[in-house]
């Protein structure tokens, strides 16, 4: 199984970046002329979270590269051997593919309202259809499941750190975005918030 995972994980990482970030960014920009990447370089809390998200992505990339390419150095990732069981890895793989499909579909349904960060300059529509009737934050939910899935597939100190750090950041980011949506959409968002749970 390790040989297959050494191919699957890097391909997944590239595909996730291509579909969840690059493709959606290009699609939104073409339809609206707006750059959906709105994380700046200021010292604000919003932008600082963006910096730490890059660190989380870097940790995941490092763990996957050590596992898949630089295998003799993988011990430096400090593998958690007592979690190294086939059924745990299979569970992780299933979650990985489900979360990928879930995230991609959520982004498609979000349409031109999709952003990376909080867009304070351009008003976005409130999306409450499709998957958004089940979860107020399905994209972030998909990201949380992806982090868990990678940890289950290659449990190590690095993937555990990425999981914990990423989950904390997502919890904070969700609350910041919900505050922004409340200010932007007022009563409509409050009604939506009362009908749909934050996660699922």
Rounded Cα–Cα distance for residues 87 and 152 (Å): 10
Residue from 58, 63, 134, 141 nearest 95 by CA: 141
- Residues 172-192: what's their mean pLDDT? 93
Between residues 45 and 23, which one has the greater pLDDT? 23
Query: Could you report the per-residue pLDDT of 53-73, keeping only the tens digit for each?
Result: 999 999 999 999 999 999 999
Pick 2-195's CATH classification: 3.30.200.20, 3.40.50.2020, 1.20.120.1630, 3.40.50.720.
Answer: 1.20.120.1630
Query: Could you report the per-residue pLDDT of 106-131, keeping only the tens digit for each?
Result: 999 998 888 888 888 888 899 999 99
Query: Residue ranges per domain, the chain?
Result: 2-195
pLDDT confidence bin for 24, thresholds 50/70/90:
confident
- Residues 37-43: what's their mean pLDDT? 80
Nearest 5°: phi and psi at 87?
-65, -30
pLDDT confidence bin for 39, thresholds 50/70/90:
confident
How far from each other are the two terminal CA atoms of the chain, in whole angstroms? Answer: 32
The confidence score (pLDDT) of residue 124 equals 87
Q: Is the pLDDT of residue 173 over 90?
A: yes
Rounded Cα–Cα distance for residues 104 and 110 (Å): 10
């Amino acid at each position: 199984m390790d040989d297959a995972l050494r191919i699957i994980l890097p391909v997944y990482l590239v595909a996730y970046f291509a579909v969840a970030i690059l493709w959606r960014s290009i699609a939104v920009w073409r339809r609206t002329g707006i750059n959906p990447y709105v994380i700046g370089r200021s010292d604000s809390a919003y932008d600082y979270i963006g910096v730490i998200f890059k660190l989380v992505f870097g940790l995941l990339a490092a763990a996957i590269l050590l596992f898949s390419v630089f295998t003799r150095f993988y011990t430096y990732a400090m593998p958690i051997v007592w979690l190294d069981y086939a059924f745990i890895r299979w569970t992780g793989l299933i979650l990985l593919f489900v979360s990928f499909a879930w995230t991609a579909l959520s982004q498609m349904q979000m349409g031109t309202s999709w952003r990376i960060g909080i867009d304070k300059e351009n008003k976005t529509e409130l999306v409450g259809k499709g998957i958004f009737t089940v979860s107020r934050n399905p994209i972030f939910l998909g990201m949380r499941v992806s982090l868990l899935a990678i940890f289950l597939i290659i449990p190590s100190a690095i993937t555990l750190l990425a999981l914990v750090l990423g989950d904390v950041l997502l919890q904070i980011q969700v609350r910041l975005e919900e505050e922004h949506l409340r200010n932007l959409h007022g009563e409509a968002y409050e009604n939506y918030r009362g009908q749909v749970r934050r996660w699922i």
